[in-house]
Amino acid sequence: MASEQAVFVVKLTKSYGKIRALRELSFKIEKGEIYGLIGPNGAGKTTTLRILATLIRPDSGEARVFGYDVVKNAHRVRAIISYLPEEAGAYRNLSGLEYLKFMASFYATDESNLQEMVEEGISISGLEGRIRDKVKTYSQGMKRRLALARTLMVQPKLAILDEPTSGLDVIHAHHVRSVIRRYVEDRGLTVLLSSHNMLEVETLCDRVGLLHKGNLVEEGPPEEIKRKHRAANLEEVFVEVTAIA
Protein backbone atom coordinates (compact mmCIF):
# COMPACT_ATOMS: atom_id res chain seq x y z
CA MET A 1 0.00 0.00 0.00
CA ALA A 2 1.22 3.51 -0.83
CA SER A 3 2.62 5.60 2.00
CA GLU A 4 1.26 9.04 2.86
CA GLN A 5 4.77 10.44 2.70
CA ALA A 6 4.72 12.20 -0.64
CA VAL A 7 8.38 11.97 -1.70
CA PHE A 8 11.21 9.91 -0.23
CA VAL A 9 14.67 10.21 -1.79
CA VAL A 10 17.75 8.40 -0.45
CA LYS A 11 21.32 8.61 -1.79
CA LEU A 12 20.24 9.41 -5.33
CA THR A 13 23.06 9.61 -7.85
CA LYS A 14 23.07 10.48 -11.54
CA SER A 15 25.89 11.15 -13.98
CA TYR A 16 25.97 12.32 -17.58
CA GLY A 17 29.27 10.98 -18.83
CA LYS A 18 31.95 12.50 -16.60
CA ILE A 19 29.55 15.05 -15.12
CA ARG A 20 28.03 14.05 -11.78
CA ALA A 21 24.64 15.75 -11.60
CA LEU A 22 23.55 14.21 -8.28
CA ARG A 23 25.78 12.99 -5.47
CA GLU A 24 23.88 10.80 -2.99
CA LEU A 25 21.02 13.27 -2.71
CA SER A 26 18.53 12.62 0.09
CA PHE A 27 15.40 14.50 1.14
CA LYS A 28 11.71 13.92 1.84
CA ILE A 29 8.47 15.80 1.31
CA GLU A 30 5.38 15.35 3.47
CA LYS A 31 1.86 15.17 2.05
CA GLY A 32 0.33 18.64 1.55
CA GLU A 33 3.69 20.40 1.61
CA ILE A 34 5.16 22.84 -0.91
CA TYR A 35 8.84 22.03 -1.17
CA GLY A 36 11.19 24.19 -3.18
CA LEU A 37 14.47 23.10 -4.76
CA ILE A 38 16.79 26.02 -5.42
CA GLY A 39 20.37 26.30 -6.56
CA PRO A 40 22.63 27.57 -9.35
CA ASN A 41 22.34 26.33 -12.92
CA GLY A 42 23.76 22.84 -13.14
CA ALA A 43 23.14 22.08 -9.45
CA GLY A 44 20.94 19.07 -10.24
CA LYS A 45 17.47 20.54 -9.76
CA THR A 46 15.94 19.57 -13.11
CA THR A 47 17.62 16.17 -13.01
CA THR A 48 15.94 15.53 -9.66
CA LEU A 49 12.54 16.60 -10.96
CA ARG A 50 12.89 14.44 -14.07
CA ILE A 51 13.83 11.37 -12.04
CA LEU A 52 10.77 11.83 -9.82
CA ALA A 53 8.64 12.33 -12.94
CA THR A 54 9.96 8.93 -14.22
CA LEU A 55 11.50 10.55 -17.31
CA ILE A 56 15.05 9.44 -16.53
CA ARG A 57 16.49 6.75 -14.28
CA PRO A 58 18.97 7.34 -11.48
CA ASP A 59 22.29 5.51 -11.52
CA SER A 60 21.81 4.45 -7.92
CA GLY A 61 19.81 5.29 -4.83
CA GLU A 62 16.10 5.19 -4.17
CA ALA A 63 13.24 7.54 -4.98
CA ARG A 64 9.61 6.94 -4.05
CA VAL A 65 6.42 8.92 -4.66
CA PHE A 66 3.64 8.09 -2.21
CA GLY A 67 5.37 4.79 -1.59
CA TYR A 68 5.85 3.84 -5.24
CA ASP A 69 9.37 3.34 -6.55
CA VAL A 70 9.95 5.64 -9.54
CA VAL A 71 11.80 2.89 -11.42
CA LYS A 72 10.01 -0.32 -10.41
CA ASN A 73 6.52 1.23 -10.24
CA ALA A 74 6.88 4.00 -12.83
CA HIS A 75 3.38 3.43 -14.26
CA ARG A 76 1.82 3.90 -10.82
CA VAL A 77 3.84 7.05 -10.21
CA ARG A 78 2.76 8.52 -13.57
CA ALA A 79 -0.89 7.96 -12.61
CA ILE A 80 -0.65 10.21 -9.54
CA ILE A 81 1.72 12.98 -10.64
CA SER A 82 1.68 15.81 -13.12
CA TYR A 83 4.88 17.42 -14.40
CA LEU A 84 5.39 20.94 -15.73
CA PRO A 85 8.80 21.21 -17.42
CA GLU A 86 10.55 24.55 -17.70
CA GLU A 87 10.11 24.53 -21.48
CA ALA A 88 6.59 23.09 -21.61
CA GLY A 89 4.94 23.40 -25.00
CA ALA A 90 1.46 22.95 -26.44
CA TYR A 91 0.16 22.01 -29.87
CA ARG A 92 0.37 25.23 -31.84
CA ASN A 93 -2.52 24.55 -34.20
CA LEU A 94 -5.00 23.59 -31.49
CA SER A 95 -7.03 26.18 -29.67
CA GLY A 96 -6.44 26.49 -25.92
CA LEU A 97 -9.78 24.76 -25.36
CA GLU A 98 -8.95 21.89 -27.72
CA TYR A 99 -5.60 21.43 -26.01
CA LEU A 100 -7.17 21.22 -22.55
CA LYS A 101 -9.78 18.73 -23.79
CA PHE A 102 -7.10 16.61 -25.43
CA MET A 103 -4.96 16.49 -22.28
CA ALA A 104 -7.95 15.86 -20.02
CA SER A 105 -8.96 12.87 -22.14
CA PHE A 106 -5.95 10.92 -20.82
CA TYR A 107 -7.16 11.26 -17.22
CA ALA A 108 -10.95 11.65 -17.24
CA THR A 109 -13.12 8.74 -16.14
CA ASP A 110 -16.13 9.84 -18.21
CA GLU A 111 -17.45 12.77 -20.25
CA SER A 112 -18.72 14.61 -17.19
CA ASN A 113 -15.38 14.30 -15.46
CA LEU A 114 -13.62 15.51 -18.62
CA GLN A 115 -15.81 18.59 -18.77
CA GLU A 116 -15.13 19.36 -15.11
CA MET A 117 -11.39 19.16 -15.73
CA VAL A 118 -11.58 21.44 -18.76
CA GLU A 119 -13.66 24.03 -16.91
CA GLU A 120 -11.15 23.93 -14.07
CA GLY A 121 -8.31 24.32 -16.55
CA ILE A 122 -9.93 27.37 -18.13
CA SER A 123 -10.35 28.94 -14.69
CA ILE A 124 -6.74 28.24 -13.70
CA SER A 125 -5.37 29.65 -16.94
CA GLY A 126 -7.33 32.90 -16.75
CA LEU A 127 -7.68 32.70 -20.55
CA GLU A 128 -11.46 32.74 -20.73
CA GLY A 129 -11.50 35.45 -23.40
CA ARG A 130 -8.86 33.74 -25.56
CA ILE A 131 -9.47 30.06 -24.86
CA ARG A 132 -10.90 29.39 -28.35
CA ASP A 133 -7.95 31.04 -30.11
CA LYS A 134 -5.11 28.94 -31.47
CA VAL A 135 -2.14 28.39 -29.18
CA LYS A 136 0.21 29.80 -31.81
CA THR A 137 -1.41 33.22 -31.30
CA TYR A 138 -0.67 33.19 -27.55
CA SER A 139 2.13 35.11 -25.88
CA GLN A 140 4.78 33.17 -23.98
CA GLY A 141 3.08 34.03 -20.71
CA MET A 142 -0.30 32.79 -21.96
CA LYS A 143 1.26 29.52 -23.06
CA ARG A 144 2.79 29.13 -19.62
CA ARG A 145 -0.56 29.67 -17.92
CA LEU A 146 -2.15 27.12 -20.25
CA ALA A 147 0.58 24.60 -19.41
CA LEU A 148 0.08 25.15 -15.68
CA ALA A 149 -3.67 24.70 -16.14
CA ARG A 150 -3.05 21.39 -17.87
CA THR A 151 -0.81 20.33 -14.98
CA LEU A 152 -3.23 21.14 -12.17
CA MET A 153 -6.64 20.46 -13.73
CA VAL A 154 -6.06 16.68 -13.62
CA GLN A 155 -5.81 16.93 -9.82
CA PRO A 156 -2.59 14.99 -9.26
CA LYS A 157 -1.43 13.92 -5.80
CA LEU A 158 1.95 15.45 -6.57
CA ALA A 159 2.59 18.39 -8.90
CA ILE A 160 6.20 18.72 -10.07
CA LEU A 161 6.74 22.27 -11.29
CA ASP A 162 9.93 23.49 -12.95
CA GLU A 163 9.97 27.30 -12.99
CA PRO A 164 6.13 27.58 -12.80
CA THR A 165 6.01 31.35 -13.35
CA SER A 166 8.70 31.56 -16.04
CA GLY A 167 7.82 34.27 -18.57
CA LEU A 168 4.93 35.69 -16.53
CA ASP A 169 4.50 39.31 -15.51
CA VAL A 170 4.03 40.25 -11.86
CA ILE A 171 0.22 40.12 -11.93
CA HIS A 172 -0.02 36.72 -13.62
CA ALA A 173 2.81 35.29 -11.51
CA HIS A 174 0.88 36.33 -8.40
CA HIS A 175 -2.25 34.63 -9.82
CA VAL A 176 -0.31 31.39 -10.45
CA ARG A 177 1.13 31.35 -6.92
CA SER A 178 -2.34 31.93 -5.50
CA VAL A 179 -3.73 29.02 -7.51
CA ILE A 180 -0.94 26.70 -6.34
CA ARG A 181 -1.48 27.66 -2.70
CA ARG A 182 -5.27 27.23 -3.04
CA TYR A 183 -4.86 23.74 -4.49
CA VAL A 184 -2.60 22.77 -1.60
CA GLU A 185 -4.90 24.15 1.08
CA ASP A 186 -8.26 23.10 -0.41
CA ARG A 187 -7.43 19.87 -2.21
CA GLY A 188 -4.46 18.44 -0.38
CA LEU A 189 -2.09 18.82 -3.32
CA THR A 190 1.61 18.27 -2.67
CA VAL A 191 4.03 20.39 -4.70
CA LEU A 192 7.69 20.06 -5.56
CA LEU A 193 8.91 23.11 -7.41
CA SER A 194 12.13 24.57 -8.69
CA SER A 195 12.51 28.29 -9.25
CA HIS A 196 15.18 30.95 -9.64
CA ASN A 197 12.72 33.48 -8.22
CA MET A 198 13.75 33.68 -4.56
CA LEU A 199 10.77 35.86 -3.63
CA GLU A 200 8.48 33.21 -5.07
CA VAL A 201 10.21 30.43 -3.16
CA GLU A 202 10.27 32.42 0.06
CA THR A 203 6.57 33.30 -0.01
CA LEU A 204 5.23 30.02 -1.41
CA CYS A 205 7.30 27.17 0.00
CA ASP A 206 6.90 25.50 3.39
CA ARG A 207 10.44 24.15 3.17
CA VAL A 208 13.37 24.73 0.86
CA GLY A 209 16.30 22.55 -0.17
CA LEU A 210 19.39 24.31 -1.56
CA LEU A 211 21.28 22.19 -4.08
CA HIS A 212 24.88 22.82 -5.09
CA LYS A 213 26.98 20.51 -7.25
CA GLY A 214 24.50 17.69 -6.79
CA ASN A 215 24.45 17.92 -2.99
CA LEU A 216 21.84 19.23 -0.58
CA VAL A 217 23.79 21.90 1.30
CA GLU A 218 20.96 23.58 3.22
CA GLU A 219 17.35 22.69 4.05
CA GLY A 220 14.49 23.99 6.17
CA PRO A 221 11.64 26.51 6.32
CA PRO A 222 12.61 29.81 4.64
CA GLU A 223 12.35 31.84 7.86
CA GLU A 224 14.49 29.33 9.76
CA ILE A 225 17.17 29.33 7.07
CA LYS A 226 17.27 33.14 7.01
CA ARG A 227 17.65 33.29 10.80
CA LYS A 228 20.43 30.71 10.72
CA HIS A 229 22.42 32.74 8.19
CA ARG A 230 21.35 36.14 9.59
CA ALA A 231 20.11 37.02 6.13
CA ALA A 232 17.39 39.43 5.07
CA ASN A 233 16.17 37.10 2.32
CA LEU A 234 16.83 33.75 0.64
CA GLU A 235 18.83 35.40 -2.10
CA GLU A 236 21.51 36.35 0.43
CA VAL A 237 21.56 32.77 1.75
CA PHE A 238 21.82 31.44 -1.81
CA VAL A 239 24.85 33.60 -2.57
CA GLU A 240 26.58 32.84 0.74
CA VAL A 241 26.10 29.06 0.68
CA THR A 242 26.98 28.48 -2.95
CA ALA A 243 30.09 30.63 -2.60
CA ILE A 244 31.55 28.50 0.19
CA ALA A 245 30.12 25.06 -0.63
Contact 214, 23 (CB under 8 A): yes
Question: pLDDT at position 3, please?
Answer: 46
- Residues whose CB falls within 8 Å of the CB of residue 240, separated by 6 or more in sequence, listed in order: 229, 231
Between CA 133 and CA 126 the distance in angstroms is 14
**Would you say residue 1 has pLDDT above 50?**
no
**Local confidence band at 89 (pLDDT 50, 70, 90 cut-offs):** low
219 part of a folded domain: yes
**Would you say residue 245 has pLDDT above 60?**
no
142 part of a folded domain: no
**Would you say residue 28 has pLDDT above 90?**
yes
220 part of a folded domain: yes
Contact 30, 5 (CB under 8 A): yes
109 part of a folded domain: no
Q: How many residues does the chain have?
A: 245
Cα dist. 105→68, 100, 109, 145 in Å? 24, 9, 8, 19
Mean pLDDT, rounded, for 155-174: 90
**Would you say residue 62 has pLDDT above 60?**
yes
Instruction: Give percent of the chain with pLDDT exceeding 70.
Output: 97
Mean pLDDT, rounded, for 21-30: 95
> For 170-210, what is each residue's pLDDT tens digit?
888 888 899 999 999 998 899 999 998 888 899 899 999 99
Cα dist. 214→9, 20, 41, 129, 143 in Å? 13, 7, 11, 43, 31
Compute the mean pLDDT over every residue in the chain, rounded to the nearest whole number. 91
Q: How many domains does the chain have?
A: 1
Q: At what angle do helices 234-244 and 222-229 cross, to 10 degrees?
A: 60
Mean pLDDT, rounded, for 222-232: 93
23 part of a folded domain: yes
96 part of a folded domain: no
Question: pLDDT at position 242, please?
Answer: 82
63 part of a folded domain: yes
Question: pLDDT at position 23, please?
Answer: 94
Instruction: Give percent of the chain with pLDDT exceeding 90.
Output: 71
Mean pLDDT, rounded, for 62-85: 96
**Local confidence band at 12 (pLDDT 50, 70, 90 cut-offs):** very high
149 part of a folded domain: no
**Would you say residue 2 has pLDDT above 60?**
no
245/93: higher pLDDT: 93
Domain that holds residue 39: 5-89+157-244
> For 104-156, what is each residue's pLDDT tens digit?
998 889 999 999 999 999 999 999 999 999 999 998 888 989 999 999 999 99
107/7: higher pLDDT: 7
4/20: higher pLDDT: 20
Between CA 223 and CA 147 the distance in angstroms is 31
* CATH number of the domain enclosing 35: 3.40.50.300
* Strand order across the beta sheet in which 19-30 lies: 19-30, 5-16, 60-65, 68-69
Question: pLDDT at position 169, please?
Answer: 87
